[in-house]
Structure 1
Amino acid sequence: AGGWSPLDTDHYPWLQVDLGSRKQVTAVATQGRYSSSDWTTRYRLLYSDTGRNWKPYHQDGNIW
């Protein structure tokens, strides 16, 4: 297993995951880094079929 965390100086970090083909994603979970204070406290979730045109994910009228 591995992990990812941005540099402290990166004010606009992002993470992109390519699932290879269209998939139904039913949950997204994040966790902190072991033995560290590196924790994700908020994020935006966007999706794309092409990797070029990104749309914010909406659920119950809320943007994630």
Structure 2
Amino acid sequence: MEQNMLKHLLLQFWQYSGRVDVPRRALYTTTVIGLVGQPITNAFVGFVAMLAILVDIFDFT
């Protein structure tokens, strides 16, 4: 019963997603934001990891 309902919802979503027309400009904008955001996120994660290693080595507490 539950699986059948989920299947029905997915089918409805699939049907509606085909009808929704996404403006190309919005698509480009989100792609550019994603591409620019990736290296920033990577740099931030690297920085936090480096800080964690330094704290572990020098034990500032």
Answer whether TM exceeds 0.5 for this pair.
Answer: no
TM-score after normalising by structure 1: 0.16
Structure with more contact order per residue of length (Cα contacts < 8 Å, sep ≥ 6): 1
Q: From the two aligned structures, give the one with the greater strand fraction.
A: 1
Q: Which has the larger radius of gyration?
A: 2
TM-score after normalising by structure 2: 0.16
Q: From the two aligned structures, give the one with the greater helix fraction.
A: 2
